[in-house]
Amino acid sequence: LRTGQAEVIFCQGKQPDHIISILKHLGEKDQNVLGTRLDPQTAELILAHFPDAIYDRLARCLLLRPLSEPTIPGKILIMTAGTADLAVAQEAWLTARYMGHDVDTLFDVGVAGIHRLLGQRELMDQAEVIIVVAGMEGALASVVGGLVEQPVIAVPTSVGYGAHFQGLAALLSMLNTCASGIGVVNIDNGFGAASLASAIVRRITRHQ
């Protein structure tokens, strides 16, 4: 009844024991599992029970088993404005790869140095859908949206300070984009962006 994405566990606010028993239960079905928003302390407790599991400190995600090779055709491109947005990009990357997708990346192409971005046209052209991860003023989403015809998924990050209000500035910026063809997900929600990208790419694949 639920989609294939149901094996992604949102770990924030769950007790370690609870997470372990879900992992055990799902793992028995010979299924890989992804756990998101898992802090390092809890991860350590969990890793002790699963010898093959891997914890990605940057993305704060856990994988019950290593990733397999991509099985679904159609590239997803993940772009970031700054290096501080990498954690969120990594959550998106892991999620997309875990769901079987082929993922390209293009990091640190923020709008304060627009020429770096413009030099990467080819990578953009090769993607079916583009995920733009940006904090600060989040302007990268608009610039990319204006350059490409593909659907763009914008992920505001909490990277910033002061009047950034933990990502609100980037979120509002992206919702008010003057470009078209852009959908927005929650602040820091790399998982959500990858899920939407996956739904789009799987739809394309289904028609091939």
Sites of contact with ligand AMP (CB under 6 A):
5-6, 8-10, 36-37, 82-83, 180, 189, 191-192
User: Smallest distance, Å, CB 90 to a second copy?
Assistant: 12
- Which helix (H) or strand (E) element contains residue 3? none
Closest among 195, 189, 186 to 4, alpha carbons compared = 195
Identify the residue whose tokens are 């609100």.
168
Tell the smallest beta-carbon distance from residue 52 to Mg ion (Å): 29
Q: What is the maximum span of the chain, computed from C-alpha positions, in angstroms?
A: 50
Nearer to ligand AMP, 3 or 68 (CB): 3
Q: Does 35 bind a second copy (CB under 8 A)?
A: no
Residue type for position 160? G
151 binds Mg ion, rule: CB under 5 A: no
Q: 82: which 2 tokens?
A: 């700054």
> For residue 63, which amino acid is it?
L
Tokens of 49: 């029970």
Task: Name which of residues 38 to 67 contact a second copy (CB under 8 A).
Answer: 58
Whose Cβ is closer to a second copy: residue 53's or residue 167's? 167
Nearer to Mg ion, 90 or 198 (CB): 198
Q: Is residue 167 at the binding interface for Mg ion, with CB under 5 A as the rule?
A: no
The binder of a second copy chosen from 44, 48, 113, 121 (CB under 8 A): 113
Residue with tokens 């028995």: 28
d(C-alpha 20, C-alpha 50), whole Å: 9
Give residues in contact with Mg ion (CB under 5 A): 145, 181
